[in-house]
Amino acid sequence: MYVRFTLLLGIFVVFNSLSGNAQDLIVKLNGDSLHCKIDDANERFIYYITSKTKKGKRLVISRKEVVSVLYNYEEADPKSIKSTEAREYEVFQAYGMAMGSRLIQYESVRFGDFLDFDNYDDELRWGTSGLTFGMNYFVDAEYGFGLLYSKNTYENSLDVRDLVTGVTGKLSDQIDLNYFGANLAYRLSGGQTGTFFQVNVGIGYCTYRNDASVIYRYDVSGGSIGLHLMGMANFSLGYGLYIPVQLGVKGFNISQLEVSFHEGTPDEVSIPITREIEAMSFNVARLELSVGLMFAF
């Protein structure tokens, strides 16, 4: 009798020990899961701890974000636990956004005696046609790295007449800027809402091309290394989808420019314009506002 009692007691102690150390699983609406130990729960919130939780602290999640809760999940299905590593953050982002932008102090080529260049340049600096794409991989809950690409277009045109020679034609600019960058991302938690904020900073290469005319057609091209700094707010739609809204600046000074004129341009026009452009640089630093769609998991 005593032996049987001792054996049953031993089995109970072992079972209780295993049960107490078993891990619970919280499955979220966005498809993520929390591998944790539930400490307390009520109708509105679930309180839990993980291996990364500081001693004496606990985390909380709203039941509105939860699909199901599996208690003692590790003990009930150990194979599944081994094959599924629980994460408390999304490790990959991919996004695409439409973009509006403003060149900060760009000035077009001042050649010939025309009307007010300032009004023309002010309209030219607004870019309503732009796109940006990017991806980031996060090594932990806060820090990640990735790549991004953006394209901005700025254009304006005006019928003009050279007051000296009497020749009429078009004053026009169509500027295309392509940016290829390496990005470092820092992510800040948004709490229980699922929305979070992020800072993107990095370095990249910008290509510049302008299909322009000052009565006569000419093309200008060049490139430069520069920096970007962006603040991004990501509004959760659930299931790993977000609406990102991004505001930031890219900074470049394009030099070492190449100029080519279309056939038939007189030398008295092409030579002075070429000399002027090759001796100058274009500041294409710009402010950008973007909105689009992001997928993360």
CATH of the domain at 39: 2.30.30.100
The span from the CA of 297 to the CA of 291, in Å, is 20
Report, as an integer, the average pLDDT of 39-67.
84
pLDDT at 18 over 60: no
Q: How far is CA 6 from CA 12, 13, 20, 235, in A?
A: 10, 11, 21, 58
The span from the CA of 205 to the CA of 223, in Å, is 7
Q: Are residues 281 and 190 in the same domain?
A: yes
Q: Are residues 230 and 131 in the same domain?
A: yes
Q: Are residues 192 and 216 in the same domain?
A: yes
Q: Are residues 166 and 204 in the same domain?
A: yes
Q: Are residues 257 and 286 in the same domain?
A: yes
Domain containing residue 172: CATH number = 2.40.160.20
Enter the tokens of residue 219.
């093309």
Q: What pLDDT does 268 receive?
A: 86
pLDDT at 85 over 50: no
pLDDT at 5 over 80: no
Q: Are residues 114 and 66 in the same domain?
A: no
User: Pick from 66, 83, 100: which residue ends a domain?
Assistant: 83
The count of structural domains within the chain is 2
Better pLDDT: 160 or 191? 160
Q: What pLDDT does 82 receive?
A: 42
Helix, strand, coil percent content, the chain, rounded in steps of 5: 20, 55, 25
Can you give the residue range of the structural domain that contains 63?
A: 2-83
Q: Are residues 230 and 161 in the same domain?
A: yes
User: Pick from 83, 104, 120: which residue ends a domain?
Assistant: 83
Q: Are residues 27 and 145 in the same domain?
A: no
Q: Are residues 15 and 145 in the same domain?
A: no
The span from the CA of 8 to the CA of 297, in Å, is 46
Enter the tokens of residue 173.
């600019």
Instruction: For residue 133, give the 3-state DSSP assignment.
Output: strand
User: Pick from 57, 83, 109: which residue ends a domain?
Assistant: 83
H or E element at residue 163: none
Contact 221, 72 (CB under 8 A): no
Q: Are residues 78 and 118 in the same domain?
A: no
**% of the chain residues with pLDDT over 90:** 49
Write out pLDDT tens, residues 225-256: 999 999 999 999 988 999 999 999 999 899 88
Q: What pLDDT does 112 receive?
A: 60
Nearest to 108 by CA among 153, 152, 155: 155
Q: What pLDDT does 199 receive?
A: 98
Q: Are residues 26 and 107 in the same domain?
A: no
The span from the CA of 270 to the CA of 156, in Å, is 21
Q: Are residues 38 and 138 in the same domain?
A: no
Provide the edge-to-edge strand list for the sheet that holds 66-70: 59-62, 45-49, 33-41, 24-28, 66-70
Highest mean pLDDT among 113-117, 124-128, 163-167: 124-128
- pTM of the predicted model as reported, rounded to 2 decimal places: 0.70
Would you give the distance in Å from CA 129 to the centre of its chain?
Answer: 18
